[in-house]
């Protein structure tokens, strides 16, 4: 009888120590929003393949031949590499290290701010490269209104470029918040993590675009 009473008394006490780890609402909200963005890009891909199916092969090939491969490949490698530097910044944020603990040349001791700044610069290089490519294509006679190929090329890559610009603004906000914070804590680290979600998403979408537009043509 005493054992039963003891077990009964201990049950509420044990219940009080049960904890539930709820998902971070900011992270969940970001993932849901990115899912809607995925549908948007799916629509752009559908538009691209639809125009490809109705446009004469000879005309499509002639327009696609105006698009270079080498420079966009370099630009793509820079953008993909920026995902690596972004993730290294997230690693630093998760250990609550906003700034480097050694000299600038000691990369292994960089904090979140250094890695995210490098990511920002690499993303800016990508945008600059895309503007350069657009200027070259316009000189070649390929514009948004020149043909069906020109329309789908500039719409798909252009909307992606706008998303990259949005990511660059997010990095500026992240860095500003980090520098302004007196104590780097969970809020600042969470901002870095959700920003990385967006940046990785932008990179994955570009890899798909690069394969479709520049490789498969």
The whole model's pTM is what?
0.86
- The percent of residues above 70 in pLDDT, for the chain, comes to 89
Instruction: Look at residue 31 in the predicted model and tell me its pLDDT.
Output: 87
pLDDT one-digit tens code per residue, 134-176: 999 999 999 999 999 999 999 999 999 999 999 999 999 999 9
pLDDT one-digit tens code per residue, 11-58: 444 444 444 455 678 788 888 889 999 999 999 999 999 999 999 999
Instruction: Look at residue 23 in the predicted model and tell me its pLDDT.
Output: 61
If one counts every other C-beta atom within 10 angstroms of the C-beta of residue 111, the result is: 19
**Which residues lie closer than 8 Å to 194 by C-beta, 6 or more apart?**
26, 27, 30
- Rounded CA-CA distance 85/45 in Å is 28
For the chain, what are the domain ranges? 26-216
Q: Which CATH architecture has domain 26-216?
A: Up-down Bundle (1.20)
Q: Are 79 and 134 in contact (CB under 8 A)?
A: no
């Amino acid at each position: 009888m005493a054992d039963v009473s003891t077990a009964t008394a201990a049950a509420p006490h044990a219940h009080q120590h049960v904890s539930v780890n709820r998902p971070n609402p900011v992270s969940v909200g970001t993932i849901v929003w990115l899912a809607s963005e995925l549908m948007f890009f799916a629509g752009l891909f559908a538009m691209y393949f639809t125009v490809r199916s109705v446009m004469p092969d000879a005309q499509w090939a002639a327009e696609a031949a105006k698009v270079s491969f080498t420079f966009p490949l370099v630009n793509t490698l820079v953008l993909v590499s920026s995902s690596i530097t972004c993730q290294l910044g997230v690693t630093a944020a998760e250990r609550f290290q906003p700034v480097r603990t050694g000299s600038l040349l000691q990369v292994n001791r960089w904090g979140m701010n250094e890695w995210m700044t490098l990511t920002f610069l690499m993303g800016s290089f990508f945008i600059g490269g895309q503007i350069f490519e657009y200027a070259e294509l316009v000189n070649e006679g390929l514009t948004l209104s020149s043909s069906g190929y020109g329309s789908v090329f500039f719409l798909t890559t252009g909307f992606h470029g706008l998303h990259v610009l949005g990511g660059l603004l997010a990095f500026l906000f992240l860095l500003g918040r980090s520098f302004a914070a007196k104590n780097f804590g969970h809020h600042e680290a969470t901002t870095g993590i959700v920003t990385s979600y967006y940046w990785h998403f932008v990179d994955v979408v570009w890899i798909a675009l690069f394969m479709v537009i520049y490789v498969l043509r």
